Amino acid sequence: MGRKTVAISLSDIAAMGGSPLFALCSVALPESACIRYARDLYRGMRDIAAEFRVDIVGGNVTSWKHPLSTCSTLIGEIPAKQPITRAGAKTGDAIMVTSELGGSVLGKHLRFTPRVKEALTLNKNYTIHSMIDISDGLTQDLAHLAEPGRLGFLLYEEAIPLSRDAKRLAKKTGRRALEHALSDGEDFELLFCVSRSEAKRILATWRLPTRISLIGEITRSGYRLRKPSGEIVTVEPKGYVHFRK
């Protein structure tokens, strides 16, 4: 959990093409927690902060009668060009994603690597129209890049990179691995839009070990998926719902 609370914010910085500098970490420890619990929690924070050369410069520590609550604030800078926002996708843009999706609940949600290096490389060397990290689920976060009424998307089913955990989880849930890749939250992969020509250039020149896939295109309206058969179906953005009322 210590690692995750910092990693989530690192991923947020990455999603804007930024470089993280400082972290502030706050924890409300359960009263029942022992000093070892607090140390282990801090170790998780410290290790991932060190991994990304981030200094933990502040925060707060308290205890309460309820479960652990953590909060991290990361301060970063934009070392190249401009920050990349969620706005900026255009009709005809290619939709790309890092690594593989789905089944994060089996463990990746705690152990994921924030895509800071990948995002900085993208921001420095390519023109990225818009970017987000997948926290709520692919289709739901894609809807943040293609706001209803303004834009739509078409995903290519066979191009969506399924993680091994999406397949493992599918065996347990009886759903398709694709469904997990489309709607599982907390993948913390980068989802971004670029022109078709820039997408080709990225695929041709990408040198980092993290795989990048072209998984669809931005359209004028509607959220759709093209099956391998060529059939096109509507998809309902699904994923983590923050508030039910």
Residue ranges binding a second copy (CB under 8 A):
24, 26, 28, 34-35, 58, 60-63, 66-67, 69, 71, 73, 75, 242-243, 245
Report the greatest alpha carbon distance in the chain.
58
Q: How many Cβ atoms from other residues are within 10 Å of residue 190's Cβ?
A: 27
| C-alpha to C-alpha distance for 82 and 127, rounded to whole angstroms | 10
CB of 202 to a second copy, least distance (A): 29
For the bound state, the minimum distance from the C-beta of residue 131 to a second copy, rounded and expressed in Å, comes to 17
Minimum distance, C-beta of residue 34 to a second copy, in the bound complex (Å): 7
Cross-sheet strand order for the sheet of 19-30:
55-64, 19-30, 69-77
Q: Are 23 and 129 in contact (CB under 8 A)?
A: no
Give the up-direction half-sphere exposure of residue 202: CA atoms within 13 A in the CB hemisphere: 28
Q: Which residue, 71 or 203, is less far from a second copy as judged by CB? A: 71
For the bound state, the minimum distance from the C-beta of residue 71 to a second copy, rounded and expressed in Å, comes to 4
Distances from the Cα of 241 to the Cαs of 140, 144, 150, 158, 235, in angstroms?
A: 9, 13, 22, 26, 16
Q: How far is the CB of 39 from a second copy (least distance, A)?
A: 13
Q: Any idea which residue has 């091994």 for tokens?
A: 164
Report, in Å, the least distance between residue 12 CB and a second copy. 9
Query: Between residues 73 and 197, which has the closer beta carbon with respect to a second copy?
Result: 73
- Nearer to a second copy among residue 99 and residue 104 (C-beta): 104
Residue 234 and residue 224: Cα distance in Å, rounded? 4
Q: Nearer Cβ to a second copy, position 24 or 80?
A: 24
Instruction: Provide the 8-state DSSP code for 27.
Output: E
Nearer residue to a second copy within complex by CB, 66 or 124 = 66
Pick the closer one to a second copy by CB: 58 or 92: 58
Opening angle at CA 219, ends 213 and 225, nearest 5: 60
* 116 or 199: CB nearest a second copy: 116
With contact defined as beta carbons under 8 Å apart, do 185 and 138 qualify?
A: no
Least distance from a second copy to the Cβ atom of residue 1, Å: 14
